[in-house]
Each structure stands twice: as structure tokens, then as C-alpha cells.
Amino acid sequence: MIAHLHGVLAAKTVERVVLDVHGVGYHVVVPLSTYYALPELQERVTLLTTMYVREDTMRLYGFATPEEQEIFELLIGVSSIGPRLALNMLSSLSAADLREAIAQAETRRLQAIPGVGRKTAERVVLELQDKMTALTLTVSGQPRVLITEDEQSVRDVMSALLNLGYRQTEAEKAVRAARAEQVGGLTLEALLKDALQALAR
């Protein structure tokens, strides 16, 4: 599963983007809230991603914040809601407003979203009200935390090591050792090289 992508924004529309990650273009579908948060073309960006797989389709959905992603994943868990409608809901209301509407059982507010009828609104509230209330307690009032380049390098190296077959504990130990060898800002290439050397010892 692809947890996040970090690369150059090669193309963007209000519905989807192409992210160039080391020469590979990833087609990612995004809600309007994420689209508005995107930088200019050819700039670097990180998107949290959810892979949606069915017999006839496999798509990546991208989000600017963990809150957007978590609400999307909760919504597609409701029987009557697929990814398209979930994205439409996130595009019509902010993540915070959508969370509040469900937590407060504001079905009329949900019905104002194109594609959401009375039965769908009621089902969403029935299945997700408690979860959205708990989510509110978790994220309410907390500032957005931007991922620094150093933190992103560490995440990318951890992902690379896990993909190479190393265990989580091995990868973490190697990355800690590699970070201790770095002087100044971290670079992905140097960090990965030092981590692999630490694993070979």
C-alpha cells in the first residue's frame, strides 16, 4: 500500500493531479480542498494517499491533511458511499465542517451536498456519528503540522528499506544510526546510503 507520495507536481486539474516521483508519474484523484492547497506546477509536494482497489478499478486518492484522508476512509466504509461521492462531500464542505455536520447529526446540511439524499445522509449519521465525535476530540484545536524536508527524507528512507524487505525494527535502528552520521541538513541519497551501510555491519 502506498501511504504517501513526495515529488514534483507535473500536472493538476480540479479533479486529479500527476505527481512525478523519481521519473514515475502517479495519477492521483483529489478533492477540491486538496486542490486549493497545491503549490504551482514543477514545485515539490507531499500527498497522503489511499489506494482503492476493486475488481474493475484501482485508483490512488490524495489528500493534503490526515484529517481529510481519515474522513474519506470513514465515508467509503459506508455501504452507500463510493469514492466519487466521498470526494464530492469533501469538496462541498471542509473536513472540519463535514466532521461537525455528521457528529451533530445535521442531515439537512448533508442533503445540501449534490448526490446526497435523505436516506444516504441518515445512513452516514447512523454509521459514523460516534466515530466523527471521537475524531473531533482527537483533532479539534490542534495546529497543522508541516512535514519538514528532513522528516520527509527519513520517511522516504524508511519506506525504501521496508520495501527492500527489512523489518521495521531493523530499518528504524539503521535510520537512527544514519542520522547520527549526517552533518547539517539531511539528504535522501546520503541518508539511504548510510542506512544501508549500517544494515550491512
Residue 139: what pLDDT? 54
Q: What is the pTM of this model?
A: 0.66
How far is residue 175's CA from residue 156's CA, in Å, rounded to a whole number? 11
Chain centre to alpha carbon of residue 28: 11
Of the pLDDT bands very low, low, confident and very high (cuts 50, 70, 90), residue 123 is very high
Handedness of CA 88, 91, 96, 98 (dihedral sign): negative
> What pLDDT digit, counting tens, does each position of 74-119 carry?
999 998 899 999 999 998 888 888 999 999 999 999 999 888 999 9
> What pLDDT digit, counting tens, does each position of 140-186 carry?
444 333 344 566 677 677 777 777 777 767 877 888 888 777 666 66
> What pLDDT digit, counting tens, does each position of 38-80 carry?
889 999 999 999 998 877 778 999 998 888 999 999 999 998 8
Residue 165: what pLDDT? 77
pLDDT exceeds cutoff 70 at 137: no
Residue 28: what pLDDT? 96
